[in-house]
Amino acid sequence: MGDQEDTPAPPAYVERVVESRVLHRGRYLTFRIDTVERPDGTRAQRDIAGHPGAVAILALDDEDRLLMVRQFRVATGEALLEIPAGTLDVAEDGTIEDPDVAAPRELEEETGQRATEWRTIGRFWTAPGFATEEMHLYLAKGLTTVRDTLGEDEDEHLELERIPLRTALAIAERGGIRDAKTLVGIFWLARLEGP
């Protein structure tokens, strides 16, 4: 099939939202039912979780160790090993935070580190079948510790781990990491860094 970038859908695939009914507005998620009209005139409903977007950070220290956080996730019933990440803030007027501003903030909140080198790696949809969350992935290097406390949000209880990139890749390959953004990030970074 070859390498193809996302391109605008041909008219035969486009679904136009003709009605949207909000069921619940949470702290950062909005649950709604969208009624769509297909090109042939038929209609269908789509359950959508509206999300402002997020950032995820591949933070590598001077010893090529990946900074990861372990935290309990109620939705999974497990403590997961993840790269630092967080939701973009939404202002009172609805303005969504710039990911380039959010990434350093989230890195410091979750790891107590600041970075002098930042590189945008890419963006991806986390669950495009039902969610509007777009994840912005960054590489951060030149780390320095600025504080010892982790997780400023009341729902965050984090444990910081420094894992060599090769070890993190091996853990991911054997199924020991099951968080999607972390898997995407580790495999992307392994490809960038080479063998």
Nearby residues of 193 by Cβ (< 8 Å), 6 or more positions away: 165
Name the residues annotated as catalytic: 154
**What does the pLDDT profile of the chain (195 residues) look like in tens digits?**
445 577 776 777 889 999 999 999 998 899 999 999 999 999 999 999 999 999 999 999 999 999 999 999 999 999 999 999 999 999 989 899 999 999 999 999 999 999 999 999 999 999 999 999 999 999 999 999 998 766 555 556 889 999 999 999 999 999 999 999 999 999 999 998 775
Nearest to 71 by CA among 102, 105, 127, 111: 111
Number of residues assigned to the chain = 195
**Would you call 44 helix, strand, or coil by DSSP?**
strand
